[in-house]
Amino acid sequence: MKIERVELRRVSLPLRRPFQTSFGTSTRKEFVLVSVWAGGQAGHGECVADLRPDYSPETNETAHHVLRDYLVPALFALALERPEEVAPAFAWVRGHAMAKAALEMAVWDLCARRGGVPLHRLLGGRGGTVAAGVSIGLQAGPDALLERVEEEVAAGYRRVKIKIAPGRDVALVRAVRERYPELPLMVDANSAYTLADAGVLEALDGFGLTMIEQPLGWDDLVDHATLQRRLRTPLCLDESIHGLEHARQALDIGAARVINVKAGRVGGFLASRQISAHCAARGVPVWCGGMLESGIGRLANVHLQTLPGFTLPGDTAASQRYFEEDLIEPPVTVSSAGLITVPEGPGLGHEIVWPRVDRATLAREELRPR
């Protein structure tokens, strides 16, 4: 198979509510949507880079540049037999995992559609349902947070994650824990602390959290290992894991006991599958993170987390939590039991509503082999 055409769109969707983390506040989701064509069929991948290099060094601009100038030409040069061949062809490009992932995932979707199978089947996953967790951004205070937790628990979510930041941590966790003694609860600091704050993190150790996500440096493993030795609560790494080697090294030195897999952060589905398989072999649970994706990236996450090894609820929540109108029909929904049904249609498995995508598109560029 030769890829005949690639389209890069810049898409902007307003978020229903602002999402605040330790590194900033998002009010809209702006991303590069990658589409690839072969033999009259298309596949689509949503890039999880954002406007600012705060979660990761990548931005929409860097992703667009690296896609257009390096990755798409490398893809055009391939005679593809399997989607597993895409990631190795990008390996010479250092970093830029989110750009690589968007294009690689579009090819996986295309291959699944060409084969008439759902994406999860091509990946080696399963049908059925997946358990939904929810990530609640930083709130004005404990009362506002409790209101949000109540809403999400009532909606059925299987576990709740709350964002924390220095000075907005122990009191928030205590408030939620007092109201919900049994709730599977975790926190995500998005790298807001250092080892000098170990006292605060030790204070969180008594709340029966399922894990503490990425408390220390965004590219750190060593200090996380030091911190993990001082805590009973498992540490989970998000930002620090950029591929299979990081995952292996993190586990080897005891920097984490759980890993958050985001296909965008590790370079795509192949790398995600390698990490989940590696962790499963070591008895380490993984779960699928989220990046406030539109329905296109959201469905990709639903399929990914059907792979063996994804034993914990992910950050994949219902479309309607994020957007007035998602780009797919039907939207992703979560049942009152906290479950998402895995699509069985070809590829991503739900329709992409192109008139909505067109309305949300800021710019588009078409690329062909030369």
Q: How far is the CB of 109 from ligand OSB (least distance, A)?
A: 19
Residue 243, SS3 per DSSP: coil
Give the one residue of 34, 187, 317, 328 binding ligand OSB; rule: CB under 6 A. 317
Cβ proximity to ligand OSB: between 60 and 135 the closer is 135
Segment near ligand OSB (CB under 6 A); pick from 99-107, 177-185, 285-293, 349-357 = 285-293
Q: How many CB atoms lie within 10 A of CB 367?
A: 18
Pairing status of strand 5-21 against strand 258-261: unpaired
Cβ proximity to Mg ion: between 46 and 213 the closer is 213
Tokens read off for 288: 């699928």
The footprint of ligand OSB on residues 238-257 (CB under 6 A) is 238
- Strands laid side by side in the 185-188 sheet: 133-136, 159-163, 185-188, 212-213, 235-237, 258-261, 286-288
Q: Which residues bind Mg ion (CB under 5 A)?
A: 188, 213, 238
Sign of the alpha-carbon torsion through 15, 18, 20, 25: positive
Q: Among 115, 112, 139, 149, which residue's Cα sits nearest to residue 304?
A: 112
Cβ proximity to ligand OSB: between 104 and 315 the closer is 315
> Distance between CA atoms of 294 and 332, rounded to whole angstroms?
10
Q: Is 2 one of the catalytic residues?
A: no
Pick what 315 binds: ligand OSB, Mg ion, none; C-beta below 5 to 8 Å, kind-dependent.
ligand OSB
Cβ proximity to Mg ion: between 58 and 213 the closer is 213
# residues near ligand OSB by CB under 6 A: 11
Q: Is 262 one of the catalytic residues?
A: yes
> Distance between CA atoms of 32 and 7, rounded to whole angstroms?
10
Q: How far is the CB of 163 from ligand OSB (least distance, A)?
A: 7
Interface residue list for ligand OSB (CB under 6 A): 55, 135, 188, 190, 238, 289-292, 315, 317
Enzyme catalytic residues: 163, 262
